[in-house]
Amino acid sequence: MSKSQLNLPRIVLLDLWHHKWVLLLAVAVMINAIAVVYTSHVSRKYITEWDQMLQERDRLDIEWRNLLLEEQSQSEHSRITRFATKELEMSRPLPREEIVVRVP
């Protein structure tokens, strides 16, 4: 029975060698599946990052609009006049106190 008995690993290797195209296709399918999973993971990561960037853009846009409103209110002529007269004790000079400087 020593000659007729075949080695199991040898039988498996011979069978794989006879069906090498099936084995090659199985490996290709596994590589393709891994690539699909990886690209899905990467695309989900980028979509999440994109969404966070859109939220940050919206937040910055709101802050920019608020700053524009604040700038308009701070630079209003009546506010500046009121601040100059009350806080800095400034007053508008009389016409006789004005000095005109002419550039030659």
pLDDT digits (tens, 9 = 90+) for 28-37: 999 999 999 9
User: What is the structure's pLDDT at 74?
Assistant: 82
Percent of the chain residues topping a pLDDT of 90: 49
Lookup: tokens for 29: 């399918």
Tokens linked to 103: 């550039």
What's the pLDDT at 57? 98
| Structure token digits, residue 38 | 């990886």
Asked if residue 68 has pLDDT above 80, the reply is: yes
- Rounded to two decimals, the pTM is 0.54
- Given a contact cutoff of 8 angstroms between Cβ atoms, the answer to whether 67 and 61 are in contact is no
Cβ atoms of 49 and 43 within 8 Å: the answer is no
For tokens 């030659």, name the residue: 104
